[in-house]
A and B are shown apart, each in its own frame.
Chain A
Amino acid sequence: MAGYAWLLRLLLLLLAVGLGYAVLSLPDQAQGLQPDVLGKMDQSGVTHPVTAVLLNFRGYDTLLEMAVLLLALLGIWSLGGLPEARPESEPGPVLGTLTQVLVPVLIVVAGYLLWTGAHAPGGAFQAGAVLGAAGVLLQLTGWRLPRRAAGHPLRITLVAGVAVFLIVAALPLPGGRQLLEYDPNYAGVLILVVEAFATVSIGVTLAALFFGADPTDKAPK
């Protein structure tokens, strides 16, 4: 094993030199696809190029990303039987008070990030992550999803993001257009609808990932 150490170092050195050469030989001012994107901005329904690419020009990628997130949760649920992490001590007064103050603020911030995504950095994934953080904080204080909300209401919320995205993606099909080819006149509204459902679904999915087990499962012993 030790005899190959020098070979490993040589290969690593070659890799480093190759990477360095590749980076240094990049053109100083690469245009990339920027002119193409900026040229079609008036058809995208939004004014922020990143959102236009993520939700319109390359909406397919975002749709699949959300499906991957849902699949990750399904994978964790199907493992089943994971013992719920018990807090080692009762949540202190600081955590409780802070959560009471922070959760409403986080919900407002998520709404702001969602809305501002149309013309500035932000969007569904960032807003969803903030919602997910609110869910994690709530769980840390010992809050659990009420029994009646843990079954179908939770599942419908989890799937809503992908489902609404798929419906909106399929809307242009009867008109003879392609999947995800929005009408430029309605693109802004459609993107906002997709992002709103996506935000809630992503937030709930991330919080459910933290919980780690299907809440309708009997507590494993």
Chain B
Amino acid sequence: MEGMTWLGWSFDAFVGAGLLWLAWRALASPDLFKAVVLFVAFGLLLALAWVRLEAPDVALAEAAIGAGLTGALLIAALTRLGISMASGRHRNNNKEEL
């Protein structure tokens, strides 16, 4: 029992730290496509956090809508914006033109 509690705590700490790290990486990434992928990973880890908080309803909604469909919508928006998948390169090209 003691071992299980310790395992649970370290798992929670891993999930919490991972969420903060993924959120920071998604916000700081200059490559928008990479940011969307990080956002989806963030959503899946957040679903795991909801499961740990014993809220499976919220976890289901987060995984299906928050991570899955929002990720698909963001990628669809990205392609429609006409920004090439590697927007970092795109930006560099613009700078050279200027």
Write the residues of chain A forming the contact surface with B, with a CB cutoff of 8 angstroms: 50, 82-83, 85, 113, 121-123, 125-126, 129-130, 132-133, 136, 206, 209-210, 212
Contact = CB atoms under 8 A, between A and B. Distances in A.
Interface in B68-94: 68-69, 72-73, 76-77, 79-80
B64 A212 contact: no
A121 B56 contact: yes
Contacts of A206: 65, 69
B69 A126 contact: no
A210 B69 CA distance: 8
B57 A136 contact: no
B61 A125 contact: yes
Contact of B80 (A82, A126, A133): A82
Contacts of A123: 57
Contacts of A130: 64
Contact of A50 (B57, B65, B68): B57
14 contacts: A122-B57, A126-B60, A126-B64, A129-B61, A129-B65, A129-B69, A130-B64, A132-B69, A133-B68, A133-B69, A133-B72, A209-B69, A209-B73, A212-B76
A133 B70 CA distance: 11
Interface in B35-59: 56-57, 59
Given A126-B65, A129-B64, A212-B80, 16 more contacts: A85-B80, A113-B60, A121-B56, A121-B59, A122-B57, A123-B57, A125-B64, A126-B61, A126-B64, A129-B61, A129-B65, A133-B69, A133-B72, A206-B69, A209-B69, A212-B77
Contacts of A82: 80
Nearest to B78: A85
Contacts of A136: 69, 72
Contact of A83 (B57, B64, B77, B80): B80
A113 B63 CA distance: 14
A129 B79 CA distance: 22
A132 to B, nearest CB: 6
